[in-house]
Structure 1
Amino acid sequence: MPDLAVPAEPCFERPLFGGSISSTFPQRFQDLSNIREVPDHQEAFADPNRDESLIIELLDLKQDVADNQSALWFLQDLANEQDSSGDLVVENVSTVASSEVPFLDPSTVVTAAVGQMGISKGRQGREARNIVRVYVANLRLKDVGTDVLITAYEPLMISELSESARSIGSGAAVPAAAVGCMPVMEAFRLCLATFKIHNWSLFGS
């Protein structure tokens, strides 16, 4: 990954999981728990004006998944959940250097994967799928048996049949930079670069 760019919009540190974790990303990403129920193992944020989202999840460690393939595995798993495994285009798979996650122990394995897939909103069918670029990072906290998954979604093409079209219009998505917003890729990297664990008891004994 290239050097972290200077934020192009207001960003602030968010307390996650009751303050046990924190991370910084753009203010425009709203806490979805204020709108709908979010599972206890997730923190979910979205910009409704751009249909972009950022999700942080705590999952049981996938012991049978190789470290260097873990982010790709989660990306492919997401594609399977969306019935998009046949349409997934993997753009990049990488190991994240410890310097890019400075608040984690340097021995922590962190990998990232980026790909495009078709995703339908809610319970809409395949005919209403949007083309979305998905950024996935997997932080493997082996000592506490946890896979932290950070996933960001960037719509590229909105179907005219999608419910998203009613709020942001159909067709090609307007680039974030064109409207003074930080691109999703930058927000994703900022979230990683500022990810801090304050209370390890969150993960149990």
Structure 2
Amino acid sequence: MSVAVSRDLTVQVSQDTNVVKLIDRQQALRSAIQRGEPKCLGVSQVMLGLMVMSYSIPLHFTVLTEVVNLGVPWWSGLTFITAGAVAIVLDKHGTMKILRVCLIASGVSTVLSVVAVIIYSVDINRNPESPCVKTPHASCNEEHYASTLSRGLKSSLLLFTLAQTVISVIVCFLLFRQRRNFGQYASLTQAASSTTSFSPTELN
């Protein structure tokens, strides 16, 4: 840091070279984050969350099983949407603080996705499709169609949740790598401003 005193006794503190280096590292962090396309991954997470929640609505009108009773599509879908929204914010504001929040949200999303996949798999295994019992109108009974619809919807939800698990793992990997590379510059936002002026009265 260099100091210059003008004729009116105003002291000018020039920009510190270390601050310049830190600012360059912050810009490099933002560029690295944007290369990972967090916005695209975040939009994918939000869309999957909305699809999971919308596909689960018909389940409430069929056979109520563990998936519906535990509200799996709802809390998993909300988790996906939250993680995706944070990833979109990270793309716009690439700071270490938001990166840590996004990393935590993606980690929670990954864990809950795995839990949801287990619940879907167990539920599908425990509730097989009901056999078709012919009615006088030469069609199957309503229970058969309800169980078939329920099983098909749960299979779709299982696929969506598996896709979400993969996306969350990818986001966690990318963010963890960037956090490790740029973690030492976390205090960058507290760096000094480029030029600071002091009047003579402030020096006394």
Q: What TM-score results when the alignment is normalised by the length of structure 1? A: 0.24
Q: More strand per residue: 1 or 2?
A: 1
Q: Which has the higher contact order (CA 8 A, sep 6+)?
A: 2
Q: What TM-score results when the alignment is normalised by the length of structure 2? A: 0.24
Q: More helix per residue: 1 or 2?
A: 2
Looking at CA atoms only, which structure, 1 or 2, has the larger radius of gyration? 2
